[in-house]
Structure formats: C-alpha cells, structure tokens
C-alpha cells in the first residue's frame, strides 16, 4: 500500500444476488461511506451507489459491481482513498497504511517479520506479522508495543509470556 493511500475498509463477503457486498469499516469518519463517494481497490475506482445496514452489517452496492460473481471477486479486498487532505493524528496514533509493511522486532532483537495485516477487534487492533515461516499475532496495546519508528520502519515489542511460542 502506497503512503499516499488511506485504508478505509475491507470487503467481507458478497451479499445477495445483485452485486452488493458487506464491508468492515476501518475509518472513524462515517461520511466516507455515503452514496456518490468513490473508494479504490488495487487502483480500481468503485462508486458507492447504495449503503445500508442489514443484520448488523454495512451493506454496500457499488455502481461498477452488478453481479454476485463480481462481488465475490472482491472478497477480502482493501478499500482505500487518497490520503491528501486527511488530518494528521495525535502523537502515538497511526493510520493503518503507516503500520502495514513495518518490520517487527522484540526488544532483544528477534526479527518477527513484517506487518502484513491489521485485525480490528473490539478491544484493540492486532498486528499480523510474518517472518516467512510463521505468523505472529501482536496485540497493539501499550504493554506490548514499546515503540513505532516510522523513519526506521520498525515496531519494537515486549511480548507477553507465551505470545511467541
């Protein structure tokens, strides 16, 4: 993901037969998902046609997606927007696009690979790091994440007992 893009959602699954999808919103700005707005996936623009809540999920119809097969092809796709004009965050708070791709190391120097995904849970985010052999789930909480250095491209952690076993 380029630094000039801001992830605002992820397609979860197809919904119905007319190309609608359910999405996980990864944005604190509810106005990002209004009809007429445009989001992108892999550089492809998608215009929000209809947006509604159903069974506790956000269901979106994109003008460019009209069949269930097309909707199923979007499953798992990240939705992003240009980051220009997005306000800066408070110190110690980061946009997901700033975290994705950062290396993860323990305070002792053990390399855990790079952040490939961020899981949004009810309590806190979880960084998913891969080292080529193994996947690590790292809770994004103050007692674990010691520092995030965007300049060096590294997150330093102090893992909880059993986290790396």
Residue-wise pLDDT tens digits, 30-71: 788 999 999 999 999 999 999 999 887 899 999 999 999 999
The residue length of the chain stands at 165
Mean pLDDT of the chain: 91
40 within 8 A of 55, measured Cβ to Cβ: no
Q: Is the pLDDT of residue 2 over 60?
A: no
pLDDT score recorded for residue 104: 98
- pLDDT tens track for 156-165: 999 999 999 8
Q: Is the pLDDT of residue 1 over 70?
A: no
127 within 8 A of 118, measured Cβ to Cβ: yes
* 23-27, Cβ contacts within 8 angstroms, sequence gap of 24 or more: 23/58, 23/59, 23/60, 23/79, 24/120, 25/58, 26/96, 26/120
pLDDT score recorded for residue 120: 82
What average pLDDT does range 113-140 have in this prediction?
Answer: 92
Q: Phi and psi (nearest 5°) for 84?
A: -60, 135
Look at 127 and 55; give whichever has higher pLDDT: 127
Fold of domain 5-82: Elongation Factor Tu (Ef-tu); domain 3 (2.40.30)
Beta bridge partners of 20: 15
Q: For residue 19, give the 3-state DSSP assignment.
A: coil
Among residues of the chain, what percentage have pLDDT more than 90?
A: 64
Q: Is the pLDDT of residue 131 over 60?
A: yes
- pLDDT confidence bin for 3, thresholds 50/70/90: low
pLDDT score recorded for residue 110: 95
* Domain residue spans of the chain: 5-82, 96-157
Q: For residue 28, give the 3-state DSSP assignment.
A: coil
pLDDT score recorded for residue 74: 97
Fold of domain 96-157: SH3 type barrels. (2.30.30)
Alpha-carbon distance 131 to 134, whole Å? 6
The pTM of the full predicted model, rounded to 2 decimals, is 0.63
């Amino acid at each position: 993901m380029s630094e000039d893009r801001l992830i605002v959602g992820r397609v979860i699954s197809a919904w119905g037969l007319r190309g609608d999808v359910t999405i996980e919103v990864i944005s604190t700005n509810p106005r990002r998902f209004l009809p007429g707005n445009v989001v992108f996936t892999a550089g492809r623009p998608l215009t929000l046609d209809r947006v509604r809540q159903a069974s506790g999920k956000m269901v979106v119809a994109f003008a460019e997606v009209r069949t269930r097969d097309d909707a199923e092809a979007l499953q798992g796709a990240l939705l992003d927007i240009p980051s220009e004009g997005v306000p800066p965050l408070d110190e110690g708070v980061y946009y997901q696009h700033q975290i994705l791709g950062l290396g993860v190391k323990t305070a002792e120097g053990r390399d855990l690979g790079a952040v490939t995904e961020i899981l949004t849970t009810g309590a806190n985010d979880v960084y998913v790091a891969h080292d080529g052999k193994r996947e690590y789930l790292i809770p994004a909480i103050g007692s674990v994440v010691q520092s995030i250095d965007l300049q060096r491209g590294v997150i330093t952690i102090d893992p909880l007992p059993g986290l790396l076993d």
